[in-house]
Amino acid sequence: MSTPKEQNSIPTSKVERSTKFVKTGLKVGGNYIKHYSKKLFNPDLDRSELNEDNAADIYESLSELKGSALKVAQMLSMDKNLLPKAYVDKFSQSQYNAPPLSGPLIVQTFKKYFGKTPDQIYDKFNLKSTNAASIGQVHQAELKGKKLAVKIQYPGVGDSISSDLKLIKPFAFRMLGMSEKELDVYMREVEERLVEETDYELEVRRSIEFSEACSILNNVAFPTYYPELSSKRIITMDWLEGKHLREYLQTNPSQESRNIIGQALWDFYNFQQHEIRAVHADPHPGNFMITPDGKLGVIDFGCIKEMPDSFYTPFFSLTASDLMENKEETIKAFRLLEMILPADTPAQVEFYYQNYKEMIGLFALPYIHDTFDFSQTAFFDKLYYFGDKISKMPEFKQARGVKHFIYVNRTNFGLYNILHELKATVKTDTYKPHVVLSY
């Protein structure tokens, strides 16, 4: 993978950022014109070249802007049912490989928040970033013989969330094919999480709370955080040695090692969901390391999704109990979750009941068995096939389901996908959902 060029500046004002979006919009429009001109001479031409051109232009623009828009691209790249493959491939680069900011911009950020340059705070500070993602980039530092990771947020990211999401909306609308109402619900929930994710003081507090709560888990490692060396836009933590998931898999690890990491991941997520009722909701591979002693290192707690009882109980009761055997109680749970709406006709109730039952039945398969082999492609083929099928149904074009589904689904499918990449077999009965059998 080529190293992206450093950026010497970042558009921070609304005018600069909207100008960049407008230019990208014109490029995308040009790609459509080019596509339809070719189609005149070749009616069988598919959209793969158009998708590749659009994905490249949109990604280039978003990676320069950083922030919310790039974060949305990263999120969408994890949902293989929402976007054509060209977008998924391109946008997934933002998990590891966004263009980093140059040294002078980093020094400027330190002066703004600490009144000092990095060299005045740490014994050593590497101005070259080791990892640049959508909201910030990471630098290596040393203090009193300790190796540190310093995460620095891009300038303007926290202040431009709302305006950026308004600007990305037309692109999302075109790429996702959601109804306007559904897209509004999606964008509002994303905005709420992003506001939290750009508050690094909140992230430090949560990182300490969650790493302490999860310290009871086997084979999971966390860095120590340093609030006194952190601020609203800078986080200092221990440097965690290890390999990212893709690097780890390239070493051809044993099945036993894969299973240990898979089990640690499963326990990490299910302990949070079922015992804390709040979960690390950003399960992309860039947030995890495999440490030299074979543990799962968790290096980012920026995105946390809290689950109210009104969502948690009906949803997980459906996935992990015999509730689905009782049609009447299942429909009651679907109503609580707004998957079936008050105005639905009996025929619509039946239609949604059947489809949601099939969907949740598929999702719940790992919970039904004591152990589950995530290497099996048949399970994922069924999931993707079903997701693809309902995405084409007009009945699912309108918004359904409470907003909590957005991040909880993303979290669990993200977890499933990582376990699939690991080809891990895990014990799924370690942290079970708390359920009820009637409403």
The pLDDT assigned to 121 comes to: 97
The phi and psi torsions of 304 (rounded to 5 degrees) equal -120, 130
pLDDT score of 11: 55
Question: What's the CA gap between 174 and 50, in Å, rounded?
Answer: 13
pLDDT for the residue 136 = 81
pTM assigned to the model: 0.77
Alpha-helical regions (H) of 159-221 = 161-176, 180-197, 200-213
Report, as an integer, the average pLDDT of 339-350: 94
Q: How confident is the model at residue 71 (pLDDT cuts 50, 70, 90)?
A: low
Rounded CA gap, 268 and 282, in Å?
Answer: 13
**pLDDT classification of 99: cutoffs 50, 70, 90:** low
Q: In this predicted model, which residue has the larger pLDDT, 314 or 389?
A: 314
pLDDT above 80 for 320: no
- 113 residue type, one letter: Y
Most confident of 32-46, 84-98, 183-197, 253-267: 253-267
The model's pLDDT over 123-145, given as tens digits with 9 standing for 90+, comes to 999 998 887 666 788 999 999 99
C-beta pairs of 222-225 under 8 Å, 24+ apart in sequence? 222/297, 222/298, 223/149, 223/297, 223/299
Q: What is the pLDDT of residue 438?
A: 74
Judged by average pLDDT, the poorest of 148-157, 273-282, 420-429 is: 148-157
Judge whether residue 249 has pLDDT over 60: yes
Confidence bin at 10 (pLDDT 50/70/90):
low
Q: Which pLDDT score, from 0 to 100, does residue 439 have?
A: 67
State the average pLDDT over residues 265-282.
Answer: 93
Domains of the chain: 14-98+159-182 (no CATH), 102-153+199-239 (3.30.200), 241-439 (no CATH)
Q: Is residue 225's pLDDT more than 80?
A: yes
What average pLDDT does range 79-90 have in this prediction? 50
Cα separation, 376 vs 309, whole angstroms: 33
**pLDDT of 82 above 50:** no
pLDDT of residue 94: 45
- Roughly what angle, to the nearest 10 degrees, separates helices 67-78 and 48-65? 140
Which of the four pLDDT bands, split at 50, 70 and 90, describes residue 25? low
Q: Higher-confidence residue: 215 or 48?
A: 215
Mean pLDDT of 70-81: 54
